Amino acid sequence: MAPRTTRSVGTRPVGTPTRGTTNPNRLRRMDRWIAAVHGPVLSRGDTPPVAVDLGYGAAPWTAVELLQRLRTADPRARVVGVEIEPARVAAAQPYERDGLTFVHGGFEVPVAGAPALIRAANVLRQYDEGEVAAIWARMCGRLAPDGLLVEGTCDEIGRRHVWVALGPEGPRTVTFATRLGSLERPSDLAERLPKALIHRNVPGEPVHAFLRDFDRAWAAAAPYASLGARQRWIAAVTDLSADWPLADGRRRWRQGEVTVAWPALAPVR
């Protein structure tokens, strides 16, 4: 079984409850990206990698699915679902199995040892932008030396998703992912920007310039639409790569993704 909580009795978890809304397969794009891009790193070492699904919500589906998808990269993977609402933890415990447990907690991440992965999806939207850096730092401080924090936001059924990947040292990349058949223009993803960026989608900010350029590249790639949305997306991202530091390649672009180096999109201070 995955590690149980290490929080001292009587210690209050850090954070506030989310609405708890969740749906099966909502986080599939994020999960598949983690397994494909970071799976080999997360599975280094002799001990099974432990992943945390932080704030999984009123139902345990996302933690169950995270375990399934991580085990495509490492069959030893374990997942701990962490929730700040005790009733949600109690409701999830019948779903425990080998490699999957649920515990009460928050941003202190009360699991034994240092996790290889912390995934926090649709958790920070209710916080103020000014609180994000401290929350990121707290969670990153719990990571293993080569661990990963993935924090972001998606719509209710997972068609549009944007997330930030962070290491112990801080933010590294921003990934935009979408079901291409549902997209009119890349800037439609702006409504799913993580809290650190969503209020920065204004003139003068890098993320605004990126989405503006992406829309222009998408428009220029309109002739590829006859070949399908995937080919149009690949053509647009190829164009975009001339001016923006993309951190992935055609193999991920075919999945309806594009990953950008964090310094290129970081808010202007």
pLDDT band at 5 (very low <50, low <70, confident <90, very high): low
Which of 168, 198, 213 lies at the terminal end of a domain, its last residue?
168
Q: Quick check: is 33 in a domain?
A: yes
Is 36 within a domain? yes
Same domain, 15 and 136: yes
pLDDT the model gives residue 267 = 96
Instruction: Say whether pLDDT at 81 is over 70.
Output: yes
Does residue 97 carry a pLDDT above 50?
Answer: yes
Which whole number is the average pLDDT over 94-121? 96
Band of residue 6 on the pLDDT scale cut at 50, 70, 90: low
How much is the pLDDT for 151? 98
Lowest-pLDDT range of 14-18, 35-39, 174-178: 14-18
Q: What is the pTM of this model?
A: 0.94
Whether residues 96 and 125 share a domain: the answer is yes
CA angle 163, 185, 18 (to 5 degrees): 35
Q: Assess if residue 44 is contained within a domain.
A: yes
Domain span at residue 238?
A: 180-269
Task: Give pLDDT, residue 219.
Answer: 98
DSSP, residue by residue, the chain: ------PPTTPPPSS--------TTTTHHHHHHIIIIIHHHHT-SSSPPEEEEET--SSSHHHHHHHHHHTTT-TT-EEEEEES-HHHHHHHGGG-BTTEEEEE--TT---SS--SEEEEES-GGGS-HHHHHHHHHHHHTTS-TT-EEEEEEE-TTSSEEEEEEEETTEEEEEEEEE-GGG-S-GGGGGGG--HHHHTT-STTSHHHHHHHHHHHHHHHTGGGGGG-HHHHHHHHHHHHTTTS-B-S-HHHHTTTEEEEEHHHHPPP-
- Which of 147, 168, 189 is where one domain is finished? 168
In this structure, what CATH number is given to the domain that contains residue 127?
3.40.50.150
Q: Does 9 share its domain with 102?
A: yes
User: Tell me, what's the pLDDT at 22?
Assistant: 82
**Residue 261, φ and ψ in degrees, nearest 5:** -60, 135
Ordered DSSP codes for 246-268: B-S-HHHHTTTEEEEEHHHHPPP
160 and 204 fall within a common domain: no
Q: With 50 as the cut, is the pLDDT of residue 9 above it?
A: no
Same domain, 154 and 198: no
Mean pLDDT, residues 207-229 taken together: 97
User: Do 54 and 105 fall into the same domain?
Assistant: yes
Q: Is 144 among the domain residues?
A: yes
Q: What is the pLDDT of residues 46-67, one digit of tens each?
A: 889 999 999 999 999 999 999 9
pLDDT value at position 214? 98
Same domain, 98 and 29: yes
**Is there a domain that residue 175 lies in?**
no
Kindly tell me if the per-residue pLDDT of 8 is higher than 60: no
Q: What is the mean pLDDT of the chain?
A: 93
* Residues 217, 261 within the same domain: yes
Number of domains forming the structure of the chain: 2
Percentage with pLDDT > 90 across the chain: 86
Mark whether 140 and 219 lie in a shared domain. Answer: no
- If asked whether residues 58 and 157 sit together in one domain, one would say yes
Mean pLDDT of 71-85: 95
- List Cα–Cα distances, 40 to 72, 82, 171, 205, in angstroms: 11, 24, 20, 34
Q: Both 4 and 137 in a single domain?
A: yes
In a domain, 173, yes or no: no
Residue 12 binned pLDDT confidence (cut-offs 50, 70, 90): confident
* Per-range mean pLDDT, top range of 19-23, 35-39, 187-191: 187-191
Please give the pLDDT value at position 2: 44
Q: Which of 110, 137, 168 is the last residue of a domain?
A: 168
Same domain, 204 and 158: no
Mean pLDDT (whole number) for 150-165:
96
Give domain status of residue 174, yes or no. Answer: no
